[in-house]
Every structure is written in C-alpha cells, then in structure tokens.
A and B are shown apart, each in its own frame.
Chain A
Amino acid sequence: MLDPILNFVTSCRASDLKISTSEVLDCMRHLTLIDPLDEPQFKTTLMTNFVKTRRDMARFDELYNLFFHEIRPEEKKGTGELVRRDIKDAVERMKKEAGESDLMNALMEFLGGNPAPLLEQMHELYTREEEKPKAFKIKNNMGQLASRLEIMLTLSKMKSKVMTITGEMYTDAESVTKAEVDAYFNRMLDRANDMLTGDPKPLNDSLIQTNSVEKRLNELGEVSFSSLTPEDIDHMRSIIDQLVRKLKDVASRRYSAKNRGVLDVKKTLRNSAKFQGVPIEIKYKNKALRKGRIITLCDISSSVWAASRFMLNILYALQDCFSKVRSFIFISKLAEVTEFFEKFEINEAIQKTLTEADIEYNVPTDYGETFRDFKKDYLHDLNTKTTVIIIGDGRSNYMNPQAEILGEMRDKCRRIIWLNPEPMHVWHTGDSEMFTYKSYCHEVRPCQNLNQLMDFVHELVL
C-alpha cells in the first residue's frame, strides 16, 4: 500500500499540490481504519488528507483519475498479466532508443505508469518565465507555445514508434493482446495530449462577485468614468471629499470603540493606593490600533486610466485609516509611487505619478511581467494583514498571464480584490485574462462609476 500512495504523492507534488510528510503519515494511519477496496472511502481518505482547500480539488480529481484509473491497464481475465508484461517490455525497448532527452524520458515513465516526471514538465511549462529578447522590444509567449508544440510533435512521433514496436513484438497481427497493448498506448498518448492542451485552473467557489445595482447617489454616480466631462470631474471631486471625510469619521469611531480594552488590574490597584486601597477609579488596558495594510497595483494604460485616477484619489485620502498604504502603477513594468502620495498634495501627486514615475508609456500592457516584477521585489512585503487591490482590465495582449504568481500572492496575504473598470459582460472577450485571474482572487467587482467605487470603499473600510 505504501508504494502506490507515495508515488501518488510524488505526482501530486509535481503538479504543485502541497503535501507535507505529516499529512502522508496521517493518511497512512487513516487507511488502516477503512476498507481500502471500497473506492469512495479510499478516495475520501486521500482527499481529506491531501487537499486542504477547495481550489485544489479539481486538480486532485484529475490526478486521482489519472493515477488510479487511466494509467492502469484494464484487468481482464487471462490476458491481464500478459498485457502488463508486454507493456513493460515495449516501454523498456523504447527507453533504450530514447536517449538523454528529459521530455522523452518523462513520456516513457508516463507510459510505464509513473506520471510524476511528465506532470513536472507540464507544471514547468505553465509557469515558465519568458526570456526577454535582447534585440527587439516586442514580447510574446512564443517560448511556451514552442515547448508545447515540441511535446505534441514528440507525442505523435511516439505514436508511430509504438506501432512499429508492437508490430515487431507480435508476429500475429490479429492477437488480442496486441490490440489491448496498442489501445493502452494510444489511450495514454491521447491522455498526455489532453493534459497538455487543457489549462489547469483552480476552482474558486467562494469568490465574491459584486455587481451592485443600488442607485445611491444622483445620476452622476452611474456615469462611467470614461465619459465624464471636466465639469463633472470637478463636481465629483467635492463628492469624493465628503465621502472620504465621512469614512474617516466612521473609521476613527470604530477604533475608539476598540480602544477600550479589558480591566488593567495593575494600574487599578496602583491607583487605589490614593484611596486607602479602595479601587474607586477603574483603569482599562488600552489596545494598540490594529490597522490593515494595503498594497495597490494600478494599471495606468490608456484604457483604464480614468478609473484608476479616481481610485488613487480615494486611496490617497484614506492613508490615515490604514497603517501602511503602498501604491504601485504599471503598464508592463512596476513603479512605486507611494512617496509621491506621501509628500505631495493630491493633484500634484497624480501629476508627478504621471510624469516622473519610472514608467514606459509606449509598450503594450503586460500583467505577467508586472506580477513577475512584484514577486521579485515585493512579495516578501505581503503578510496576513495585507489587502492587495488590483485595478485593471486584465487585458494582457495575449502574453503569458503568469496567474500562478497571483496564486502565490494569495497564499501570503489576507485578501486580493480585483477592480475591473470594464463592464462584466466583456470580461471574457478578446485578450482579457479576467477569467484566468478570477479564480485566484477573493473578490472581483466591476468598478466603472462613482457608485460602484463608493460601495467598494464602504466595504473596504467598514
């Protein structure tokens, strides 16, 4: 029992499920308590120990099916043993001819019943970072596509190879065993192809999607940011100012209520000395303010800048409510603008953000590159008190979206909220990666107008 479970764990780890040794130990202990031949019980035992979040369940199901069903040749009476032996022989023969190629070896192992190396190759492929071309500026995800194509070609090469080898092994072309062996290899190679073409995406049932329809303000609140006139913007500024003042009041009230802590015996007793030991004045322990931290990543490419400007406006004003607000802007590279926000008055700060931040304007938006930048320099800055707010339309010009970095960020912070200035119905059109990113966020919401923005700020602070 131990060997197949350990092999399974290796496969799971190769596809990025985090399974610790203590979990394997627990699982082994649990398996002794149930009937392992009862499949629902067996599967539940593995799942309950190895998958600790809903998001990984789909991946676990996939691996479980692959490992315990698909790569096992069917047990048929009489021929089963023979088929297994022949499969092994055929794989051994092919291995001799395979040479040193990692990919070939991984595929051989896969055919032989061990999917871990192939899964590792796939995982590496999905999370590959694109090399930067030196000579010209245009970026792409050709590296990933090329490797995918290479695996596909190898697969089809192997298909014909398998036919030749089984042809050599069996003199009788009508043999039942040969048909079974052929079917097995074909199924496995098709399976490998499916794995390659289907993107692994985590589930996220608990995602909060908010699309508020309540009309709270006057009509101005419903006008999209991109169609506001300069007069509207002026008018809106004053509304935002009012809103921010109100929010500050609420936040400070909340903190002052929280501040009243439990009775401080030491201080009370010390104070009671004045009154002959009678504790007339009760002293309370004051609690330190617990303030959240916010990190904002703001897309400032032309399509979303109108909304970002308002968002930054609000965040600028809210710095008092949060112990630390760090703001970044990006198009394809990340630039920190926190300093401008701390030093200058709002309009000047935004002006400086636009002109002085280290941002290249004439490049296509690249979210993958931005996340990579963030991972390199700031990932360590995230902790369980940080809320990450990403403002952008998720349109990454068909470049590698690097969604797994967003996953790493999710693992480290309290929550990730994505505000999208586009209406929801266009999220899945064209080069929008919103559906890829969505599963890694705690919350996504459209944020096209003042009402939606206000809803968001209310919920963020309160």
Chain B
Amino acid sequence: MKFNSVEEVQVRLGDVNYIPSREIATVVFLADSTQKPVLIEGPAGVGKTELAKAIAKSQGRELIRMQCYEGLDEAKALYEWEYAKQLLYTQMVKEKINTVIQDSTSLAEAVDKIAEQEDAFFSDRFIQPRPLLKAIMSEKPVVLLIDEVDKSDPEFEAFLLELLSDFQVTIPEIGTRKAKSIPFVILTSNNYRDMSDALKRRCIHLYINYPSHQREKEIVKLKLPGIDDILLESLIQTIGKIRNLDLKKRPCISETLDWAKSLLVLNIDRITPEVLSDTLNMIVKYKSDTELVKKNLTKIVG
C-alpha cells in the first residue's frame, strides 16, 4: 500500500517500531511516489537495513535481501541455470529424442529437428532465480534490499545499472525480462569505496547519521518500554559522551539497546563509573577503544 504523505510515512513506520526523522520520512515518501531507488549511507548500526525492513512491514510487502560482497557475480545475484536438472532431463528424454528424429532422412534434417526443441533446455523451467530476478518476477511488489553495495566489485555495480533505471534484466539465452511489479529498491553503503556517478544518478540519496538525543530516547523507550526515565536519560547522555571520543568504532543504536538491555537484566538503576567499566564490552568493540574509554571514565560519568 502506497504512502500518501510524509506524515503518513512517519505514522506508519512508527507503527512498526521504526521512528524516522522528518528527513528520512520525506525521502521514503519521494522514493515511494516516484519509484526511485534510495541509496542510504551512514555509519554502521544507525538503522539503514532496519529502515528497509520497516518499509516492507508497513507496506505489507515481502522483503528480498541481497548481501553484497567482493566477488559477487550475476550467477549469485540474478539467476543460475539448474545444470543438474538439465542433465537429468537430457537423460530422461533421450528416448523421446529418438522418436523426434526417427522420420528424418538425413543427418542435417535430424539436427534441425533437435534444434527446434532447443528452447526447451534454456527456458524459465531451468532457471534458478536469485534475489534480483525474484524481486523483478514477483507478481506483488516487494522491497528489494541490496545491502552493503560498496563491498561489491565495480563490474557488479555496472550490472546493477540496467536494473535500477529500467527495472529489467537481460539473460543472454532467453532475452530481456521486464519487471512485473516495480520493487521498492534500497541500497545501503558504508562508504568502503565511492559508488560510481552513474549509480548515484539513478538513486536518490539519504544519509542517516547517529540519532539526535531525543530520537534515540524515543527508540530505546519504544524497544524497552519498561526502562526507568532517569536511567534512560543518563544512559543516552553517557553514550553521547562516548561517541564524542576519538574511537575506532563509535557505538551505534544497536549497541545502546544492547547496553540498556544488559543494565535491565543486571537490575541496575544508576550509572556509575564502575557500572560503565563492567559493562563496557557491550558498547565498544576494540581493545584500544576500551582503554580510551576507561581512561576517561570519570569525565564520561560525572
């Protein structure tokens, strides 16, 4: 079901437990209305993938996810021929081939007759659709999430261009397949490398940053309704101060949530330097970062 206004996007995403900023809602609305792919950039863990899931949920669409990595090729992303099935069928219909060619008088005629049947082996029957083809061939519109597109190779990126601008793909053996329904396409990137201008031009761009103080509070409250307000306030402030340090990997929303959960499990109602030090491994992921936070414990919790 399409979104009718920016406000509606905010409400409907809120209903499925995703609190979007006004900017995010505007971009989602525009992408939905004009069927443009969205390229989402931002640090890891700020809710890029989550947004795709929330859109799928709120629109009642299926989410088809494709994780990109170095060396990903068409066979894994688009389609593959089911060789085993093809070989099996060849064996099984061997007898049938004899009956097809039994009336032919010359070898050339027999070959022609077999050639007429050739399409049977390169047809939709033997195609194993992968995420991209699945998204295009789906009768109902879906949400297609192409995750971490920056990890893929430039060749694969070039291959995506046809899909993103015309919503069609070309399979050499059987021709072009046009989308039955236009999917809502979301690409995410952690900026491991810059995407080409051609790809960027086909997408509208959204940068999701760490959430504001207020939004992060709302998110935690939404996911953990039982949390005490005073604890929540000091938790968000502490995370904010940790983010300001020169860390290798800054804590993101999922880490805030993990930390909040563990504080609840441990029955802690006040954050002290000792509590932070004991539960630090929920927030930072590198040894050097742990050392840095420990050095600044009293500054952070004070």
Point out residues on A near B: beta carbons under 8 Å.
18, 20, 22-23, 26, 29-30, 33-34, 40-41, 44-45, 47-49, 51-54, 57, 205-206, 209-214, 258, 262-263, 265, 268-269, 277-279, 290, 384-385, 410-411, 414-415, 442
Residue in B30, B94, B193, B200 whose CB lies within 8 Å of A442: B193
Interchain CB contact under 8 A, A206 and B36: no
Partner of B207, one of A29, A57, A385: A57
A51 in contact with B196 (CB, 8 Å): no
User: Does B110 sit within 8 A of A, measured CB to CB?
Assistant: no
Q: Is the CB of A211 within 8 A of B288?
A: yes
CB <8 Å contact, A277 and B91: yes
Chain B interface residue count, Cβ-Cβ cutoff 8 angstroms? 46
Q: Please tell me which one of the listed residues A20, A262, A410 contacts residue B201 in the complex, with CB atoms under 8 A apart.
A: A20
CB < 8 Å neighbour of A52 from B30, B42, B200, B209: B200
Q: Does B194 lie within 8 Å of A411, measured CB to CB?
A: yes
21 A-B residue pairs with Cβ-Cβ distance under 8 Å, sorted by A, are A20-B197, A22-B201, A26-B34, A30-B30, A40-B22, A40-B23, A40-B26, A41-B26, A49-B204, A49-B205, A52-B203, A54-B207, A206-B191, A211-B288, A213-B291, A214-B288, A262-B75, A385-B154, A410-B194, A414-B154, A442-B192
Q: Indicate whether B184 reaches chain A with its CB closer than 8 angstroms.
A: no
Q: Which residues of A contact B154 (CB under 8 A)?
A: 384-385, 414
Bound-state CA distance A57–B208 (Å) is 12
Q: Is B104 an interface residue (CB 8 A)?
A: no
Residues of B within 8 A of A414 (CB): 154, 193
Compute how far the CA of A52 lies from the CA of B201 in the bound complex, rounded to whole angstroms: 8
Within 8 A of A (CB), among B58-93: 71, 75, 80-81, 83, 86-87, 90-91
Q: Contact at B30–A34, with CB atoms within 8 Å? A: yes
Inter-subunit contact A214/B287 (CB<8 Å): yes
A415–B151 Cα distance when bound, in Å, is 12
B200 to chain A, nearest CB (A): 4
Q: How many A-B residue pairs have CB under 8 A?
A: 106
Closest 10 interchain pairs by CB? Answer: A206-B191, A384-B154, A52-B200, A44-B26, A48-B204, A52-B205, A213-B288, A44-B23, A30-B30, A263-B83
B30 lies within 8 A of A33 (CB): yes
Q: Cβ of B83: which chain A residues have Cβ within 8 Å of it?
A: 263, 265, 268
Asked whether, in the complex, the Cβ of A44 is within 8 Å of the Cβ of B41, the reply is no
B147-160: CB near A (< 8 Å → 1, else 0) gives 00000011000000
Closest-CB distance, A50 to chain B (whole angstroms): 9
Q: Looking at the complex, which one of B6, B87, B191 makes contact with A41 (CB distance below 8 Å)?
A: B6
Are B6 and A34 neighbours in the complex by a CB distance under 8 Å? Answer: yes
| B71:A290 contact, CB within 8 angstroms | yes
Q: Which of B196-221 contact A (CB under 8 A)?
A: 196-197, 200-201, 203-207, 209
Q: Kindly supply a per-residue 1/0 record for chain B positions 273-295, scoring 1 wherever the CB is within 8 Å of any chain A CB and 0 otherwise.
A: 00000000000000110010000
Find the B residue at minimum CB distance from A56.
Answer: B205
- Interface-centre pick from A22, A34, A44, A290 (highest chain B CB count, 10 A): A44
**CA of A263 to CA of B196, assembled, Å:** 32
Q: Which chain B residues numbered 26 to 51 have a C-beta less than 8 Å away from chain A?
A: 26-27, 29-30, 33-34, 36, 39, 41-43
Question: A407 CB to closest chain B CB, in angstroms?
Answer: 11
Q: Are A54's CB and B22's CB within 8 A?
A: no
Q: Bound complex: CA of A22 vs CA of B161, how far in Å?
A: 15
- Asked if residues B81 and A265 are in contact (CB atoms below 8 Å), the reply is yes
Q: A residues within 8 A CB of B196?
A: 384
Determine whether the beta carbon of A18 is less than 8 Å from that of B197. Answer: yes
Cβ of A26 and Cβ of B71 under 8 Å apart?
no
Choose among B43, B71, B80 the residue that contacts A205 (Cβ–Cβ < 8 A).
B43
Residue of A nearest to B153 (CB): A290
Given A209-B248, A258-B71, A53 and B204 touching (CB < 8 A)?
A: no
Given A53-B41, A206-B41, 15 more pairs with CB closer than 8 A: A18-B197, A22-B201, A33-B34, A34-B6, A34-B30, A52-B197, A53-B194, A205-B43, A209-B248, A262-B80, A290-B71, A384-B193, A384-B196, A385-B154, A415-B192
Q: Taking the complex as formed, is B190 at the interface, i.e. its CB lies under 8 A from any CB of chain A?
A: yes
B193, A415: Cβ atoms under 8 Å? yes
Docked-complex contact B287 and A54, CB < 8 angstroms:
no
Neighbouring A residues of B291 by C-beta, 8 Å: 213
Q: How far is the CB of A193 from chain B (nearest CB, A)?
A: 30
Q: Choose among B43, B80, B205, B288 the residue that contacts A48 (Cβ–Cβ < 8 A).
A: B205
Q: CA of A384 to CA of B155 in the docked complex: distance in angstroms? A: 9
Q: Which residues of A contact B80 (CB under 8 A)?
A: 262
* Bound: A277/B153 CA distance, A: 38
Residue of B nearest to A443 (CB): B192
Contact of B205 with A30 in the complex, beta carbons under 8 Å:
no
Given the complex of chains A and B, what is the CA–CA distance between A385 and B71 in angstroms?
13
Instruction: Let me know if A44 and B27 touch, CB within 8 A.
Output: yes
Q: Which residues from A are CB-within-8-Å of B190?
A: 206
- How far is the CB of A426 from the nearest CB of chain B, in Å? 15
List B contacts of A49 (CB < 8 A).
204-205
**CB-nearest residue of chain A relative to B165?**
A22
